[in-house]
Amino acid sequence: MVYVSVNNNESIDSALKRFNLKLQSSGLLRELKDHSHYEKPSEKRRRAKRRRSSSRM
């Protein structure tokens, strides 16, 4: 669970920006997208292989 407390003189936009940064760094969105639909094991391997090869460059 990601929490962000809004300070007294802080705008909602900056608090939302901090929230989005925390959400990205926690990996929660990636996990939600991964579990949103069923993926065959062969597709998982193919995606992981593509991710590994692109990170080497």
Give the model's pLDDT for residue 57.
Answer: 57
3-state SS, residue 27: coil
Give exposure, 34-55, as e/b (b: 16+ Cβ within 10 Å).
eeeeeeeeeeeeeeeeeeeeee
Give the model's pLDDT for residue 53.
Answer: 86
Other C-beta atoms closer than 10 Å to the C-beta of 18 total 15
pLDDT digits (tens, 9 = 90+) for 16-49: 999 999 999 998 888 888 888 888 999 989 988 9
Give the domain ranges of the chain: 12-56
Of the two residues 57 and 14, the one the predictor is more confident about is 14
Hey, what's the torsion of the CAs at 44, 50, 51, 57, to 10 degrees? 170
Reported pTM: 0.57
Give the model's pLDDT for residue 8.
Answer: 92
Query: What is the arithmetic mean of pLDDT over 4-18?
Result: 92
Write the DSSP symbol of residue 11: -
